[in-house]
Structure 1
Amino acid sequence: MYVDSHCHLDYPGLIDDLPGVVARARNAGVSHMVTISTKLSQFAGVRAIAERFDNIYCSVGVHPHEAGEEAPSSVEHLLELARHPKVVGIGETGLDYFYEHSPRAAQQESFRLHIRAARESGLPLIVHSRDADKDTIRILQEEQRDGPCPGLIHCFSSGPELAEKSIEMGFYISLSGIVTFKGAKDLQATVRTLPLDRLLIETDSPYLAPVPHRGKTNEPAFVAHTAAAVAALQGVTVEQVADATTTNFFRLFRRCQGGE
């Protein structure tokens, strides 16, 4: 059994065939999915997908790309939206200095609001970090002085420092189809060193389809290929990766059915 801990089922390429996407995921052994919020203005649509399917949950938050236009007005606003029983995480939030679609100051302020909402709600923080490892680590460490919050670094593609510091703070590391790419040698070397009991798997669909589907629209069913790649890198069986990442998912996302 697999879990896709991060997908975007409201995006073009998936929303138009939701029953088919869900059926193919089920046939591939995917038991649960979390569809991720990137804009508060579109959160109602994300939540509606989670309400429609028993095995789909959602998050609430603002992607760093949108932080300049859609930053949450307050921690209380996020907490109010997060009270819905199908909301299992806060985010995705974080920092993206690769594209910089939003000013860095706006990204950082939005990130801090999300961290505080995660701490107050007890829901896991879903962190996006691209070309921003040092600031991601710094802000997480600064905010944790006021108390820890659960969380994960999603679609991890950074170096060992972000992984090590995040795990020290109690976070999990979520791996996507990038680990199957030929050119991802540095990432693959890091994945070999990570503890299996801190790993999750995801698709980030409709993006980043793993080999052998690279270049196609990604979907939750393809998370099995990521699990196989992680198993090969860790020197364990696919079944061990499936069991561990599923157990880790329910340990982190406690609101999901089957959680502890």
Structure 2
Amino acid sequence: MLLVDSHCHLDRLSYGDKQSDMASVLAKAKAQGVGYFLCVSVTQQQFPSMLQAIAPYPQVFASCGVHPLNQEPGVDVDLLRSQAADPRVVAIGETGLDYYYSPENKTVQQESFRQHIRVARELGKPLIIHTRDAQVDTLRIMAEEGADQIGGVLHCFTESLEMAEAAMAMGFYISISGIVTFRNAKALQEVVRALPLERLLVETDSPYLAPIPHRGKENEPAFVRDVAQFVADLKEVSLAELADVTSRNFFALFSLAKP
């Protein structure tokens, strides 16, 4: 069985010596069947140190981008383009819109989102999209900027089935995090039941959002197995089948990530 943690922030876990501790975190994940990882950038400033930290681990792929909640000092498009050209980078993002935490700078977020989509199309690398309380604008900008031409994933998905269906119609995948295991996530669980397996990914978003039974702990990639098991139960398939399908989906989407 092979699992992929399709979205994690390995450089943000609480450890001192990143080389040795990252190695132990990855080894613990491997013991749970997690063989590959996508380490996602959220600022341009921390991208070089993130890339350096994961350099010894060929099973860890990278993205580059500016999270919608990290708009200071804003996105440098030329720098984004040069960072994205690194061969370890298989995706652009995370980018997107978050009106839940930062409704006051919608215009800035929207322009940043558009710039990310344009660079993704230019370089032929898929998008990692964060969206919260911004369904209409997210889908509108995706359509206006031609995101369907490059594809990508709506990560840590918590929105409606209608939004998921609209994104999938543009060639996007839907990634499910540990939120799906929460007791108050009944609506999300119903969405996951309705989603096609061939469009699903699983993730931890570590160090955030640890799934049950690890609530209260720092999240880590090993826990993606708990997410996968929960999703498998919702979909009434075996963990092995869920792992196989989501891993194949990952490498189909992120075609530059070579297993």
Same fold by TM-score greater than 0.5: yes
Q: Which residue of 1 aligns with 2:86?
A: 84
Distance 2:150 2:143 in 1: 11
Structure 2 CA distance for aligned equivalents of residues 93 and 257 of structure 1:
23
1:250 maps to a residue whose letter is F
1:125-176 Cα offsets, whole Å, 9 max, x none, are: 000001111111111011118x611210000011112101100000000000
Q: Is the 8 A contact 1:181 1:211 kept in 2?
A: yes
Q: Which of the residues 119, 139, 142 maps onto 1:140?
A: 142
- AA aligned to 1:237 is S
Residue pair 1:208, 1:218 contacting (<8 A) in 2 also: yes
After TM superposition, give the deviation of residue 90 of structure 1 in Å.
Answer: 0.3
- Which range moves more in the overlay, 95-104 or 147-156? 95-104
CA distance in 2, matches of 1:51, 1:101: 36
Q: Secondary structure at the match of 1:256?
A: coil
1:88 to partner: Cα distance: 0.9
Contact 2:13 2:206 in 1 (8 A): no
1:85-234 matched pairs, under 5 angstroms: 85-100=87-102, 103-144=105-146, 148-234=149-235
- Asked if 1:34 corresponds to 2:35, the answer is no
| CA displacement at 1:21 relative to structure 2 | 0.7
Q: What's 1:18 paired with?
A: 22
Corresponding letter in the other structure for 2:49: G
The SS at the match of 1:110 is helix
Change (3 A) 1:15 1:25: farther
Percent identity of equivalent pairs: 50
The code of the aligned residue for 1:203 comes to T
Superposed CA deviations along residues 182-220 of structure 1, whole A, max 9, x for unmatched, are: 110000000001010000000000011011101110000
Superposed structure 1 runs of 4+ greater than 6 Å apart = none
Cα deviation for residue 83 of structure 1 reads 1.3
- In the superposition, the TM-score normalised over structure 1's length comes to 0.94
Amino acid at match of 1:226: V
Partner-residue secondary structure (3-state), 1:229? helix
Matched, 1:248 2:252: no
Give the distance between the partners of 2:60 and 2:16, measured in 1 at CA: 13
* 2:76 is aligned with 1:73: yes
TM-score by length of 2: 0.95
- Call closer, same or farther: CA 1:15–1:148 in 2, change over 3 Å: farther
Could you say what secondary structure the match of 2:116 adopts? helix
Deviation at 1:49, TM superposition (A): 2.3
Cα 1:15/1:89, change in 2 over 3 Å: farther
Once the two structures are TM-superposed, the CA of residue 15 in structure 1 deviates from its matched residue by: 6.1
Q: Is the 8 A contact 2:40 2:94 kept in 1?
A: yes
> Does structure 2 retain, via aligned residues, the 8 Å contact 1:127–1:152?
yes
Aligned length: 255
User: Whole-Å Cα distance in 2 between the matches of residues 47 and 233 of structure 1?
Assistant: 36
RMSD: 1.4
Distance change >3 Å, CA 191–CA 118, structure 1 → 2: same
Q: Equivalent residue of 2:229, what SS?
A: helix
Aligned counterparts, 1:30-69, within 5 A: 30-67=34-71, 69=72
Q: Is the 8 A contact 1:250 1:256 kept in 2?
A: yes
- Please, which runs of 5 or more residues in structure 2 have no aligned partner? none
